[in-house]
Structure 1
Amino acid sequence: MIASIVKDWINRSNKLERLWLLAKIEFKLRYYENKLGLLWALIKPLMDIAIYYTVFQVILKQGVPAFASYLFIGLILWNFFVESTTGTVQILHVKKYLYEYSNMNKLEIYLSTIVSNSIGFFFNFLMFLLFYSLIEKQSTGLSFQNFWIIPLFVNLFLLALGMSLILSNIYIVAKDIHQIWTVFVSMLFFLSPIFYKLNTFKEALPSFEYANPIAGIIINARKVMMEHTRPGFKLMAFDFIYALILLLIGLMLLNRLGSKAAEKL
């Protein structure tokens, strides 16, 4: 059943071209309709950094080295996850016309949306590299260990895709999931080491980084980007397992509930 969804998409012709075209359209609709355009995708994380830097470094004096960069990498990973999940809860309703009238594979709709978010993430990550390399006074520069960010982002992509599938398919039968997820995301934000010292986070919530895959990805991203060390492979394995389990559950729900989306929505 699940394999048939994936196989159907794989067997379709011009799937990569169509996926890229949909992603570009989604990206342009999101940013180019606003007056600030793409600039907003770059300004938002910088505004967030300014706020949290003032609160946690200036007022509360966290004492984290290179705190602006520490915040920067954590926030762009977090924002990608939130935009890719919260923004797709109603995707089967909002983009009903795509799969109902064009016979498009539903999985393609999810992938194109998250690929669109990935384009925004790429620009933000480029900004982080420039900031950390050229502006951050406590920067240790770049190294080959930085390439570990690629599998970490793949992990984040799969995690976001899995949660998107789960949330949007639950929305078909329980529309309250949108409000519930919004509250849960707010709670998860404060239970992730985005602006806390890592030692403080681990002391307050021992081993919680293994229960919270977002926390694990952020911790490992800082290791490879700022500490020039390899990621914690045990933590990375846990995060990939979480992502694959959630993706499997999401595909099961897409097969069971998604097939009835057109009539129920």
Structure 2
Amino acid sequence: MKEIVAVIKEQFQHLGMIFRMSRYEDKATYQSHYLGLAWQILNPVIQIGIYYLVFGIGVNQGREISGVPFIVWMLIGITAWFYINSSILGASNSIHRQVGMVAKMKFPVSVLPTINIVSNLSSYFPMVAIVIGTILAFGISPSLYWLQYFYYFFCMIAFLFAFGILNATITVLIRDYHIFLQSVLRLLFYVSGPIWDIQNRNLPSGLVKILRLNPVYYIIEGFRDSLLSRQWFWEKTTYGLIFWGIVFIILILGSHLHMKFRAKFVDYI
């Protein structure tokens, strides 16, 4: 428990540095591009267009899902997925990528995954604005359910932080892990619900229950429950407790490994 407190304490002690470095990372990534930071929006919009053509029009043939236009249903899920996917991959490689800075100065290494998570928010928030605009354009009215969006957003950040600390540490210790993680995320894309309605795919009920234990699925469906006014988060108490149990276990393991090996990160790299 002391290790968890130490890692979380470092995040709050260096909040200013986290936000400054996240802004610098955004600019550094797109500084050689003519359109610059606009690619943070253009890239996901182009991908969404492709997915809609393939899965919305091609596979689903424009049918609604639970009375909701497919484009609205998909936008909510895939916007969250893009952010989760990029944050997991970026955070997992953050310590290894910044080895020069870690080696030359006294630096709170645990904030590196957080910097990447915060940096990706600059593309996530504009996409959320597009999602809300699309929802309103299709005549879906705001409701009190929208307030719980903040709960699921906190769930997403907590999961990404815990998973980021764990992944970043393992990637330093075992370099092949980052490639393995990329493959796992490709599989998760199809079983976490951003483009498939898992509960209406004629899958065995037992398999559906197992897939619903996926933390990413819990987050994505939570955003849909909020913006589509479907149900409150306390109506899924069991899955909520399982989600927070998984996050806590990941955080314990990630914090322990991070504190145990971070003094030797440079030697491993």
- Fold shared per TM-score above 0.5: yes
- RMSD, aligned α-carbons: 2.2
1:107 to 110, 122, 144: 110
Residues 125-154 of structure 1, C-alpha deviation per residue, up to 9 Å, x if partnerless?
1121122213xx3x4122221121112111
2:15 is aligned with 1:16: yes
Q: What is the Cα deviation at residue 71 of structure 1?
A: 1.1
Superposition deviation, residue 4 in structure 1? 6.5
Question: Mean Cα displacement is larger for which, 237-246 or 152-161?
Answer: 237-246
4+ residue stretches of structure 1 with deviation over 6 A? Answer: none
Q: How do 1:204-243 residues align onto structure 2 when only pairs under 5 Å count? A: 204=204, 205-231=207-233, 232-243=236-247
1:206 aligned counterpart, secondary structure: helix
Q: In the aligned structure 1, how far is the partner of 2:55 from the partner of 2:151?
A: 30
Correspondence 1:151 to 2:154: no
Give the alignment partner of residue 254 of structure 2, picking from 229, 235, 250: 250
Q: Does 1:262 align with 2:263?
A: no
State whether residues 165 and 255 of structure 2, in contact with CA within 8 Å, keep that contact through their aligned partners in structure 1: yes
Q: Deviations over 1:32-84 (max 9, x none)?
A: 44323222222223222222222223222362222111111111111111111
Contact 1:84 1:161 in 2 (8 A): no
1:149-175 deviation digits (Å, cap 9, x = unpaired): 112111111211222222221122211
| Structure 1 residues 154 and 4: alpha-carbon distance in aligned structure 2, compared to 1, 3 A threshold | closer
The normalised TM-score by structure 1 is 0.88
SS of 2:208 mapped into structure 1: coil
Distance 1:179 1:11, change over 3 A: closer
Q: Deviations over 1:10-43 (max 9, x none)?
A: 685xx22222111211222234443232222222
For 2:12 and 2:80, locate their aligned partners in 1 and report how far apart those are by CA, in whole Å: 32
Q: Which residue of 1 aligns with 2:6?
A: 5
8 Å CA contact 1:8–1:105 kept in 2: the answer is no
Q: How far apart, CA to CA, are the structure 1 residues paired with 2:169 and 2:202? A: 34
Distance in 1 (alpha carbons) for counterparts of 2:202 and 2:151 = 24
C-alpha separation in 2, matches of 1:7 and 1:60: 44
Amino acid of the residue matched to residue 6 of structure 1? Answer: V
Structure 1's unaligned 5+ residue stretches are none
Q: Output the TM-score relative to the length of structure 2.
A: 0.87
- Tell whether the 8 Å contact from 1:145 to 1:224 is kept in structure 2 after alignment: yes
Unaligned runs of 5+ in 2: none
SS at match of 1:168: helix
- The one-letter amino acid of 2:52's match is Y
1:172 matched to 2:172? The reply is yes
Q: Within 2, Cα distance between the matches of 1:167 and 1:176?
A: 12
**How far off is 1:224 after superposition?**
0.6
The CA distance in 2 between the partners of 1:31 and 1:235, in whole Å, is: 39
Aligned to 2:99: 96
% identical aligned pairs: 18
Aligned length: 260
Deviation at 1:93, TM superposition (A): 2.1
Task: Pick one of 59, 79, 84 that aligns with 1:81.
Answer: 84
Contact 1:166 1:249 in 2 (8 A): yes
Contact 1:73 1:222 (C-alpha < 8 Å) held by counterparts: yes
1:16–1:197 CA distance, 2 compared to 1 (3 A): closer
**Which whole-Å CA distance do the structure 1 matches of 2:70 and 2:105 have between them?**
48
